[in-house]
Chains A and B, each alone.
Chain A
Amino acid sequence: MLFNSIDFAIFLPIVFVLYWFVTSKNLRLQNALLLVASYFFYSCWDWRFLFLLVFSTLLDYFTGLKMQEAKSKKGKWFWFWLSVIVNLGFLGVFKYYNFFVESFSEALSQIGLQVNPWTLNIILPVGISFYTFHGLSYVIDIYQGRIKAERNFVDYAVFVSFFPLLVAGPIERATHLLPQIKRQRTFDYVKAIDGLRQILWGLFKKVVIADNCAEFANQIFNNSADHSGSTLVLGAIFFAFQIYGDFSGYSDIALGTARLFGIDLLRNFAFPYFSRDIAEFWRRWHISLSFWFKDYLYIPLGGSKGGNWMRIRNTLVIFIVSGFWHGANWTFIVWGALNALFIIPSIIMKANRNNMENVAQGKLLPTVREFFQIVVTFTLTVFGWIFFRAENIGHAFQYISGIFSKSLFSIPTIQPYYIVLLIILFILIEWFGREEQYAIANLGLKWRKLFRYAFYYAIIITIFWYAGKEHQFIYFQF
């Protein structure tokens, strides 16, 4: 069930009404309803993978309890590693097995040994990377004594499978979400209206920006050899807006939906394309994943404590692992490594924490320097996206060599003016809303009701005009 489908438009009000009218006086019932709704939501993709989700939930629930009850360090250690190995084992089998055996077989063929690897003919369960990371963060937090194991299975299962975040995040932490699940929720009008507004903006990003950009990005990337350098540049820019609109749109819908149920999820995007350096970009892009890797990988590896070499090594590790988390393909690994290379100079110069505030905070426009920094950061990011989007490394290099050809300065062969106009309008709205949680959080709140409603109606009509394609969200494949 996609967020941008009619099915979801029917599902959501039904769950909302049951939640606030039928079960609101009983927290246990309310959580049970959320769990049933979440499992139904998940089973709409493929009910068979529901067993995997339930198994993964049961595993972490029981190993969490066992770790807490363990009387010796050894016992605690055993249950911790059992959970980690089984969780990563599932991820390895479903997501990475074919990649590893194929890469191994290719490596052998390079030295003259021919093997026919046994590959699995399986589809990737939707959201496996996300709910596995949920579970891992929970058991790691228990192991490190940050939290206590949850005794109520339903509450824990809602934490793992709450439907707005189940298939593509944000990757939640038990310390943030579990207390909200265990607390009696009361309906908050302002929060609910804000949630609806965020859903609206998320749908706009997905349906209007991402899906339109996707059409041309796909056209250009799929036939990259036939296009001029300037068209290839355009294709990469379209993909940059496609993936941003797609993933941040999804996150907005997830956050907005959760708010309708009185739950606040972690923020996942903070206007990353207005970043002034790559370090700032990564503090603003897929925030919940970046912080997951920071807390559970970067810091355990030593973090920033051991001097420059240690920091560089750790940065490389988390970016490569992060790239690999996205998919079993060398393109993602190169994309991760490339971003690490972009960020390393600022680490060496200790400039990676220079831009912690919003750009042009409290001002209408950025300075020339800031504008220049934004353009450079965006260019580097777009360059990285070429690897992310390419079918394989060869395709990425072919695409890049196509850009740096004589035809770079020719007029693009594809000229979708209406999308360019939509993107400009989108950038403007995002710019003026960049100090908020999402771009239209405050936009028009002080206008007369007539104009405010007209603005929302205009967004709805634009979504309606461009809807109907029902493209999958890109991050569902991760």
Chain B
Amino acid sequence: MKKFLVRTFFFFFPFVVISYPLDYGISYFLSKSNDASGEFEVWSDIYSSKVNCDIAIYGSSRAWVHIDPQIIADSLNQSVYNFGINGHNFWLQYLRHLELEKHNKSPKVIVLSVDVFSLQKREDLYNPDQFLPYMLWNSNIANFTKSYKGYNGTDYYIPLIRYAGKFEALKSSIKHAVMNTSDIHYRTNGFKGMDREWNTDLEKAKSNNVSYEIELDNKSIELFELFIQECDANHTDLILVYTPEYIDGQNYVSNRKDVIDIYKNLAVKYQLTFLDYSNDSICLNKQLFYNASHLNKKGACVFSKKLAKDIKYERIMTQL
């Protein structure tokens, strides 16, 4: 028995010894890459305390590709960063907020892009690879991602385990270790203007004649209210923004109006500014969109200018 245990121990010992350094190396080079739709860039900026902006833009992909921080910054003369996280609802937008607050100076203003999906909670952890370099022994990431189908409990605590079977992440890490590609950025201050033409997603959905009803997640709504209260307590100005959706796609979600009413009611309840572009003239111009819910680069430019102007007009920035 002793011989068995000793030999087994020494057989696995090299794995134990190299697991953490190897994990660190893989994570380091992966975090330098611009993969995962550029999410690594944003997370790395947060964890390396590089952000420290005056205005933070939160939301999903509809924040990420709609609001150009440079246009807002030029217009308001403030530093701006876009923290939009692709494919995720408020649950994980809040995680990004927590990590931002933990590693950086708190923003003075938060512009939160809300939409019909914000208060829903998906089952799968979309784009799970984006958490890989940062999730080891990170309790915030563990707390906010473990309720999704994505990672096991051990992935958060045992080095290397979470990289098992992650070909793309491993390949990407090796690629960035071999070639220095850290100068190639996918996003600029978190934003990516999508240089795309209108695609046929909406036509396909229409041909299927499918209507979709949003199932609101009570825990997400509670978290949303908690976030509003936290902002108030920290004297952070919170602006809710409903960014434009193309007019023909607006009927796709059957309870769209009810969801927008929730934001309106919360804005009244907590005396927040709610900039509602859900029926703005931009919604009528197909050339500004690449699908029913996303503006293209040109649309993002038009919308960002309008948003900057509206924020100014609302005199929200006076205290900055």
Contact = CB atoms under 8 A, between A and B. Distances in A.
A6 B165 contact: no
Contacts of B163: 464
A16 to B, nearest CB: 10
Contacts of B14: 457
B1 interface: yes
B165 A466 contact: yes
A453 B12 CA distance: 10
A467 B4 contact: no
Contacts of B199: none
Interface string A442-478: 0000000000010011001000111111000000000
B272 interface: no
A467 B1 contact: no
Contacts of B154: 6, 10
A118 interface: no
Contact of B167 (A5, A10, A460, A465): A465
Contact of B164 (A10, A193, A464): A464
A469 B167 CA distance: 11
Interface string B137-170: 0000000000000001010001011011111001
B165 A465 contact: yes
B3 interface: yes
Contact of A465 (B3, B158, B170): B170
A205 B280 CA distance: 58
A189 B11 contact: no
Interface string B5-40: 001100100110000000000000000000000000
A472 B158 CA distance: 23
Interface size class of A (residues with CB under 8 A): 20 to 34
A188 B192 CA distance: 62
A20 B170 CA distance: 39
A467 B152 contact: no
Given A196-B8, A465-B170, A20 B165 contact: no
A363 to B, nearest CB: 34
A7 B152 CA distance: 9
Contact of A468 (B4, B8, B11, B164): B164
A18 to B, nearest CB: 14
A475 B135 CA distance: 35
A187 interface: yes
A458 B39 CA distance: 33
A5 B154 CA distance: 10
Contacts of A456: 11
A400 interface: no
Contact of A467 (B3, B7, B15, B165): B165
Interface string A1-23: 00001110010000000001000
Residues of A contacting B: mostly = helix
Nearest to A192: B4
Given A189-B3, A193-B4, A467 B164 contact: yes
Given A6-B152, A6-B154, A187 B165 contact: no
Residues of B contacting A: mostly = helix
B16 to A, nearest CB: 13
A353 B177 CA distance: 59
A465 B174 CA distance: 13
Contacts of A466: 165
Interface size class of B (residues with CB under 8 A): 10 to 19
Interface in A182-204: 187, 189, 192-193, 196
Nearest to A469: B165
B190 to A, nearest CB: 29
A465 to B, nearest CB: 7
A363 B152 CA distance: 47
Contacts of A457: 14
Nearest to A461: B15
Given A196-B8, A453-B11, A468 B1 contact: no
A468 B165 contact: yes
Interface string B116-154: 000000000000000000000000000000000000101
Contacts of A468: 164-166
Contacts of B15: 460
A10 B170 CA distance: 25
A122 B3 CA distance: 49
Interface in B155-205: 158, 160-161, 163-167, 170
Contact of A6 (B4, B8, B161, B170): B161
B175 to A, nearest CB: 16
A192 B11 CA distance: 14
A187 B106 CA distance: 61
B4 A189 contact: yes
A467 B155 CA distance: 13
B127 to A, nearest CB: 16
A266 B79 CA distance: 70
A171 to B, nearest CB: 29
A69 B315 CA distance: 94
B15 to A, nearest CB: 8
Interface string A155-197: 0000000000000000000000000000000010100110010
B4 A187 contact: yes
Given A465-B167, A466-B165, A20 B1 contact: yes
Contacts of A7: 152
Contacts of A6: 152, 154, 158, 161
Contacts of B161: 6
Nearest to A17: B5
A342 B212 CA distance: 52
Nearest to A457: B14
Nearest to B165: A468
Contacts of A192: 4
Nearest to A9: B154
A456 B166 CA distance: 21
A273 B11 CA distance: 33
**Nearest 4 CB-CB pairings of A with B:** A468-B165, A467-B164, A468-B164, A6-B154
Interface of A: 5-7, 10, 20, 187, 189, 192-193, 196, 453, 456-457, 460, 464-469
9 contacts: A6-B158, A6-B161, A187-B4, A192-B4, A456-B11, A464-B160, A464-B164, A464-B165, A469-B165
Interface of B: 1, 3-4, 7-8, 11, 14-15, 152, 154, 158, 160-161, 163-167, 170
